[in-house]
Structure 1
Amino acid sequence: MKNKKMITIILKKLKELYPEKIKQRDPYKVLIETILSQRTKDENTKKASKKLFSKYDTIEKIANAQEKDLEKLIKCVGFYRVKAKRIKKISKILINKYDGKVPKNLKELLKLPGVGRKTANCVLVYGFNEDAIPVDTHVHRVANRIGLVNTKTPEETEKTLRKIIPRDYWKEVNKLFVEFGKNICKPTNPKHEKCPIKKFCKYVENLEV
């Protein structure tokens, strides 16, 4: 595991590579899009989200929509029938229990059906600008590969990252690691020649042994 000084250097280098600031968005749309994104390619998530919100642009309209109509709009995502039922149910709960607002609270978010820690943390970061670390497959893989953590599950990864990463960087971890994981630190054939943190990377060290 890296020390905190080295971790800060790694994060600073990734910020130089991906300097774009996080854009705050509607918490409800973040919640629904993150649910749609589960086990689905990014391009399909964007396509489904665009279709869904083009026809049903409010929480009330989604809550009152027919499941079959929702299914047609999001059919390009994985498990679209399950997700159609879920987003309708969540929308109704938010209207009935939270006055149509997404709760700004991890504990309450986790009470919503099908919402796990990654989804809840995404809502906190991208919807409310709260300090949290959403851990998806990219974050989990990259953090383990470069040697920040040695964990088996995304939940363990989040717990460890919260301990070792300075809180000032929490909000940015997901964005930085996702971009890095997609473009340079790929699952196969990572681009070592373009990597700004390879001298800190456990994976590269093992290759050179």
Structure 2
Amino acid sequence: MDVEEGKNWLTDIPGIGPKTAAVILCFHFQKPVIPVDTHVHRIAQRFDLVPENCSRNKTHEILETVVPNPIKYSLHILLITHGRKTCKSRHHVDSQNCFERCIHYQEVVKGDKDSDEVV
């Protein structure tokens, strides 16, 4: 079964949406998909991989297109870990030193609109 067949089959089951289907395909069937949860969605927006006003489903569509298949699983794990431990939904300056290098933090939290120099 290819990825599209799997997604269609799974999402036809009541209660299974795109995220759950992607999780099952990724972790059980080892298919090259990138499940988008709240962490992946937030980090994708903050890294400008998707527009800020993008829905979670649209984020899923975009990441499926732009992320190469061989790194989808690894990127998914990295984004979730980064979202849970470092780049949380609430801004805790004491959580990591990376905020001084984070454009999102500089612009949104500190209000520095001239953050182009920040890496």
Length-normalised TM-score, structure 2: 0.74
Deviation at 1:174, TM superposition (A): 2.3
Deviation of 1:146 after TM superposition, in Å, equals: 2.0
Is residue 193 from structure 1 mapped to residue 97 from structure 2 by the alignment? yes
Q: Which residue of 2 aligns with 1:170?
A: 72
> Residue 11 of structure 2 is aligned with which of 110, 114, 118?
110
Alignment of 1:130-209 (within 5 A): 130-150=31-51, 151-190=53-92, 191-194=95-98, 199=101, 201-204=102-105, 206=107, 207=110, 208=112, 209=114
Q: In the alignment, is residue 122 of structure 1 matched against residue 54 of structure 2?
A: no
Deviates more, 1:170-179 or 1:129-138: 170-179
User: Equivalents in 2 of 1:192, 1:203: separation in Å?
Assistant: 14
Give the whole-Å Cα distance in 1 for the aligned partners of 2:78 and 2:33: 14
Superposition deviation, residue 175 in structure 1: 1.5
Structural RMSD (CA): 2.1
SS of the residue corresponding to residue 34 of structure 2 reads coil
Deviation at 1:152, TM superposition (A): 2.5
Match for 1:138: what amino acid?
H
Matching residue of 2:117: none
Q: Which runs of 5+ in 2 are unaligned?
A: 115-119
Gaps of 5+ in 1: 1-103
Higher relative contact order (CA 8 A, sep 6+): 1
SS at match of 1:180: helix
| Larger gyration radius, structure 1 or structure 2 | 1
Matched-pair contact (CA < 8 Å) for 1:147–1:203: no
1:120, distance to aligned residue in structure 2 (A): 0.3
